[in-house]
Structure 1
Amino acid sequence: MVSMEEKIKACVLQALESAAGTKGEGVYLVSVRVKGAGKQTKIEILLDSDTGIRIDQCSFFSRRIRELLENEGGTPVLDGEDFDLMVSSPGLGEPLLMPRQYLRHTGRLLRVIWKDEQQSEKTVTGRLQQVLKTEGEITAVRLVPVKTGKKSAGNVQEPIELMLDCIVRAVPEAEL
C-alpha cells in the first residue's frame, strides 16, 4: 500500500514536471514532511533550484500542489481531510539534503559533521570553496576551515576535501 507521504510526493513531482516552460522551471523537490493526522495534518514541502527559489515560485507551486492533492484525477489524495500546506525553500539552518544543493552554497559558510576512516564523527565550520564532480556526478566538496573568535584573525587554514558519502550533516551558517 502506498503511504500518504508517497502520494503527496507523487503530486509534488507531477506539479514540478508540468512546470516546464513556466516560472517554475528548474525547481526540484528537496523533501516532504507530513505531521499529524486528520484535521491536524500539516504538510511541509521544501523546494529549491540551482539559483535559489523565489517566493512567487513557492506560491505558484503551493496552489498547483493543493489542486492536485484535493482532486488528483478525480480521486483526492486527501479525501475531504483538512490540511495545512506549507511550500517553502530550505532556509538558513536547514541541512543540505541533496548533492546539487552544494553548488548553490559555494562560497558560503557551512557547518559540516562527517565520519572519518574510523567512523568517528568530526565537525568543521568552513567556507565551501569547491564542489567536486566525477563523471558529472557531485562526489565531494572542498572546504576551507575557519576559526571563530577574536584570536583567529589572520589564521589561514588548509582546505580539506570531504566525500559526500562521509558527510552526516551539512548546514549553512549565518555570517555576521
Structure 2
Amino acid sequence: MSTPSGGRDQRPSATPSAARPERVQQIEAILVPALAEAGYDLEAVELTPAGKRRVLRVAVDRDGGVTLDDVAEATRAVNAVLDAPAGAAVMGEQPYTLEVTSRGVDRPLTLPRHWRRNAGRLVALTLADGTSLTGRIGRTADAVSPDAEGRVLLVVDGAERAVPYAEVVKALVQIEFNRAAFDALEDDPDGSDETDGTDGTDETEEEH
C-alpha cells in the first residue's frame, strides 16, 4: 500500500489542538495511523449532536483523489478502529452515525499537501498583510523536495509569484464550471462514476 502524502505531513489539519474538542483529538489520534496504513490522509473529524444520536464525519484524501471505492475502503478502516475496544471507549455509549467522505473542494488549503493536490486549480487567497489575490496553483515546494522552502508558486495575471505558506491566512479553491465538466469527462469518459452531486465529495453513511 502506498504511503499517503508521499511520506510527508499526515496531520488532519493545521488547526491548533486547543481549538478542537478533546474527544475529536482522541478520535483523530486513533484514526490517523489506521488510515495511513490503508493509504489515506485524515483530513477532518467532526462530531456533532443530532437529536439522541451523534454524527461523526470523517474526511479523507490521498494523492490522485478519492473515488467511491476508496471511500468504502476508508469506511471499513474507520469502522475497524471504532469497533475495537479502544475506539469504543473513545466514542462512548451514545449511538452515532458515521459519515466518511472525500475532502471535497470547499475546505480551505491549510497544509502543503493540499496545495500540491490542487496544482493547476484557481485559488483565492487572503494574505497576512490584508491583501487578496487570485491565481492558479503552479509548482509547490514539497512536490520538488519535502525539505524545500515552504511556498507555492502562483500564476497571477500571467506571471509567476512565490507565496510563502506562512503568509497565507486563508485559501479557497474556486469552482470553475468549464474546468469541472472537463475534469469529469477526462476522469470518467463514459459517465459511470458517481458522487453525491452537491460539493464534489464522495460519501458513505453507516449507523452505529
Query: TM-score, normalized by length of structure 2?
Result: 0.65
Q: Using the alignment, how far apart are the partners of 1:137 and 1:85 within structure 2? A: 36
Structure 2 unpaired stretches of 5+ = 1-20, 178-208
Note the C-alpha offset of 1:30.
1.5
CA distance in 2, matches of 1:5, 1:91: 20
Residues 109 and 125 of structure 1 are in contact (CA less than 8 Å); yes or no, is this contact kept in structure 2? yes
Q: Residues 77-156 of structure 1: matches in 2 within 5 Å?
A: 77-115=90-128, 120-133=129-142, 136-137=146-147, 139-145=150-156, 156=157
**Cα separation, 2, equivalents of 1:97 and 1:39:** 33
| Structure 1 Cα separation of the partners of residues 159 and 114 of structure 2 | 24
Contact 1:12 1:65 in 2 (8 A): yes
User: Quick check: 1:173 aligned with 2:169?
Assistant: no
Q: 2:159 aligns to what SS in structure 1?
A: coil
SS in 2 for 1:76: helix
Aligned AA (1:10): A
Change (3 A) 1:144 1:18: closer
> Higher helix share goes to which structure?
2
| 1:31 CA drift (Å) | 1.8
Bigger Rg, structure 1 or 2: 1
- Cα offsets for 1:60-84 (capped at 9, x unmatched): 2223212322333485322222112
SS at match of 1:121: coil
How many Å separate the matches in 2 of 1:136 and 1:80? 42
The CA deviation string for residues 44-96 of structure 1, in whole angstroms up to 9 with x for no partner, is 21111121122211112223212322333485322222112221122122211
Alignment CA distance shift 1:74-1:59 (3 Å): closer
For residue 15 of structure 1, the aligned residue among 20, 24, 34 is 34
Shift in Å at residue 136 of structure 1? 2.4
Quick check: which one's strand share is greater? 1
Partner of 2:82: 69
Partners of 1:126 and 1:168 in 2: CA distance: 15
- Of 46, 50, 70 in structure 1, the residue corresponding to residue 59 of structure 2 is 46
Q: Does 1:159 align with 2:174?
A: no
**Structure 1 pair 66/81, CA: closer, same or farther in 2 (3 Å)?**
farther
Q: CA RMSD in A?
A: 2.4
5+ residue gaps, structure 1: 20-24, 146-155
Identity %: 25
C-alpha contact (below 8 Å) 1:15/1:61 kept by paired residues = no
1:3 Cα deviation after fit: 2.3
